[in-house]
Chain A
């Protein structure tokens, strides 16, 4: 395969052999195989902020893909994978590229397999309360299709407009309503996939099974490494008949933690639970009198049957008041509702800032200390480093801490070094406090340095599975801390 330097830099752009291109065109039609440099450029990135920083300075995040192929069906995909195994062509599954950890970035000029032609709802079963949908369907279009029938899947991530259902599953995502509806692994009850060896997997949708360990969960969170998810069956729920919101001002973060822990441990299930640190609270409560003395913002939403919703709201308010909270003007909740599906980073990235978000999990017993250590250590990296945090996936055992970090415009090499240092600081302190390095953004590529410490011998288990079903290491190699392909670039 040929490669060449680009006029604008040192982009690696190995080309696909004509014979392979011809074979792919024979499967999906020539109009569904893209090899032009410009098209390949569009697929060199996902939404990894580091990748954006590289593009901003005229570089690639890593390499260009060799080509893009768009199958229309699972049978197309089976043929593509068979060809890939014969010709030893590496493939990367691609939905909407909304991942923020570099999971779809080509490291070795792989061929991107864009699944968005497979984008239909196949069946809504109102007796079983399930929907079956193709993996390439846009998240918003999927949820709107359900709502038109009076249902919701309850998976409402910030990225819903710019992600695919298959991407949700591959990333093991969590939506903003997860406190009530669960995370994606709770919502997916069945799926179909094409494995890297070309075999077709069918995990039939049932409420539960006890037939050995969960094969479904090899694919839920697989990040394109263990197979192409082609079709998913998810639980659905009737749209709630009643909704109610509450905004609270807590005297301290610790009071907020204690209240939310008590709410969840009391088996109350608000649909939305959001607690902000003082930095992020200030930005959202300007001028509201309750926050002068109680600087910590908490937003709770409840939904469901009216009687149940009102009861849960009343019980939650009582618990929060026991921890010193006062109810406030609902404006912060309205503001959040209006902006919940937007991306906050665009303005900053466009203005040359270095902005990133990191989400980790910690047990309640360690959360306050972890927050203190992380916030002070990150702020100490640079006098102009912005750090803010909120907690928005609340469990009986602990919570997800979602952090925003931001450096002002500066020398690019300096910024990238500080950015990397900030990540290492956060992840290592999280591990030191018994937490998980990732709550719902996945591991992708950028978390590779910390995966081994998080899952220890579990990584060897995953590698053994990978080696068994993908002996040529063709499917999205080098992600989730697994073995990279020979000759792959490093990031």
Chain B
């Protein structure tokens, strides 16, 4: 099922946001990389949906790195639930 216009709009909002939710992710976690931030996940999701990046094993691995996105729930400036948004957008492989 193709992602809806509303889903795309939310993905764009997060992708273009500079991660105001960063402080929600603990400094004690071992993984501290940019590609797991909500903004990067949404940027990557958009690139996959628009077929600018293949949905290969590397993309799946990156898109499933959700700890920072889980921590951002309730913290987002725009009230977005990024894990749910990503699931909605990417539900079907190649969607």
Contact = CB atoms under 8 A, between A and B. Distances in A.
Interface of A: 6-9, 34, 36-39, 41-43, 45, 47, 52, 55, 58, 68, 70, 94, 96-98, 114, 116-117, 119-120, 136-138, 140-141, 144, 159, 161-162, 341-343, 345-347, 349-350
Name the residue among A39, A68, A114, A341 with the largest chain B CB count within 10 angstroms.
A39
Contact of A37 (B19, B30, B32, B56): B56
A162 B20 CA distance: 5
B53 A37 contact: yes
Nearest to B23: A140
Interface of B: 9, 12-13, 16-23, 27, 30, 32-35, 37, 40, 43-44, 47-48, 50-54, 56-59, 61-63, 77-78
B57 to A, nearest CB: 8
A343 B47 CA distance: 23
Nearest to B57: A36
A161 B38 CA distance: 14
A94 B52 CA distance: 24
A346 B59 CA distance: 25
Given A55-B43, A119-B32, A7 B20 contact: no
Nearest to A341: B20
Nearest to B36: A42
A171 to B, nearest CB: 14
A9 B50 CA distance: 11
Contacts, number: 123
A39 B23 contact: no
B62 to A, nearest CB: 4
B19 A34 contact: no
Name the residue among A42, A97, A141, A162 with the largest chain B CB count within 10 angstroms.
A42
B77 A70 contact: no
B33 A34 contact: yes
B64 to A, nearest CB: 11
Contacts of B35: 34, 38-39, 41-43, 68
A36 B57 CA distance: 9
Nearest to B48: A38
A114 B13 CA distance: 24
Contact of B13 (A9, A116, A161, A350): A350
Contacts of B62: 36, 38-39, 42
B27 A346 contact: no
Nearest to B58: A36
Contacts of B78: 346
27 contacts: A7-B54, A8-B50, A8-B51, A8-B52, A36-B57, A36-B59, A36-B62, A37-B58, A38-B59, A38-B62, A41-B43, A41-B44, A42-B34, A42-B40, A43-B34, A96-B22, A96-B34, A98-B18, A136-B32, A138-B22, A138-B27, A161-B20, A161-B21, A162-B22, A343-B20, A346-B78, A349-B12
A141 B59 contact: no
Nearest to A159: B18
Name the residue among B21, B51, B58, B78 with the largest chain A CB count within 10 angstroms.
B58
Contacts of B9: 350
Contacts of A9: 52
A114 B20 contact: no
B51 A7 contact: yes
A350 B16 contact: yes
B34 A94 contact: yes
A52 B19 contact: no
